[in-house]
Amino acid sequence: MRAIVHRLPGDSSMLELTERDIPEPGSGELRVRVVVSGVNPTDWKSRRGTGTAAAAAGESVPNQDGAGIVDAVGEGIAGFAWGDRVWLAISAWQRPASGTAQEFTITLADRAFPLPDEVTFDVGASLGVPAVTAHRALTVSEDGPARLHPGALAGKTVLVAGGAGAVGHAAIQLARWAGATVITTVSSADKGALAEAAGAHHVVNYRETDAAERIRAIAPGGVDLVVEVAAGANAELDQAVTHERSTIASYGNDGGAPVTIDFGRAIMHNLRYQFVLIYTMGARAWAAAGEDVTAAARDGALVIGDGAGLPVHRYPLEQTAAAHDAVEAGTVGKVLIDVASR
């Protein structure tokens, strides 16, 4: 089979197309014929040897997420059979040979989830890290739901920072599906149009207006939950627009600014800062996210493409390096790699 590998950390020139033997699944594993591989920032960071999911020494196959068809089932597996359509999440976490930039991958069964027949492989490959991160951020509030479904966030107001990004896009769609009023912040009119297409009720361009003032005008009592990509840069804003017992769920710190907390206000409001990292969030949270994200996708709530606010950029397997470069350069939208013919 064809596979992309890298043996040393570094830039995208480390990636090479090679031939590997088709592996056999062991106990608790599935072999999946990968149709589409999804690329996330964690993938190029891993390849460079930085970030949370830094690659292990030796030969590694990049990319955590993907979608495909079950090709073989290992011992002890219930709930999957040959021919099942699946979406994959963090397939290569602590398993460097299990990335999705190859024609067949071996994944742990608990990192694979059913892909409904009405959901495309493109959407399936776009779930994984972004949608699971968004789900986790939306379900960690003390006064909020632990699961998402239509109506779960009814009456809640959610602020999504960076609504044009992949996680922001998923958070908007999941929150809207669950019944929340969704506000999002963006840095340009073009990104605002994407966030609106994703389903945000209110879009705030923080470069053109006083974001705190505008958000407070939309939600005078404050927002219930913030899904945050830039914890340091937005700390003052987040604390200014929340209320008693609100939660700021941060999955990133774009720009690396220190997170400064107004302790007096935070303690008086019983404000909760919840840090979100899906790799270590536990099996129960993973099972919940897998079921809820699958349900949202089945309902047509998680969609991609220009009309849905997340433009798609496609590459063939042999151009995986270019796909990584596009994500590293901050390309707006979802970068996908076509691995197998459909």
| pLDDT(341) > 70 | no
For 138-168, the pLDDT digits (tens) are 999 999 999 999 999 999 999 999 999 999 9
Mean per-residue pLDDT over the chain, rounded: 95
Q: Which two tokens stand for residue 35?
A: 């149709």
Provide the whole-model pTM.
0.96
For 236-259, the pLDDT digits (tens) are 999 999 999 999 999 999 989 999
- Using an 8 Å Cβ cutoff, are 158 and 138 in contact? yes
Within the chain, residue ranges assigned H as helices are 41-48, 121-126, 128-138, 166-177, 189-198, 211-218, 235-241, 263-268, 283-298, 320-328
Residue-level pLDDT at 50? 75
Other Cβ atoms closer than 10 A to 259: 17
Residue-level pLDDT at 51? 62
For 296-336, the pLDDT digits (tens) are 999 999 999 999 999 999 999 999 999 999 999 999 999 99
Other Cβ atoms closer than 10 A to 236: 13
Burial class of residue 153, CB neighbours in 10 A (0-12, 13-18, 19+): buried
| pLDDT(169) > 80 | yes
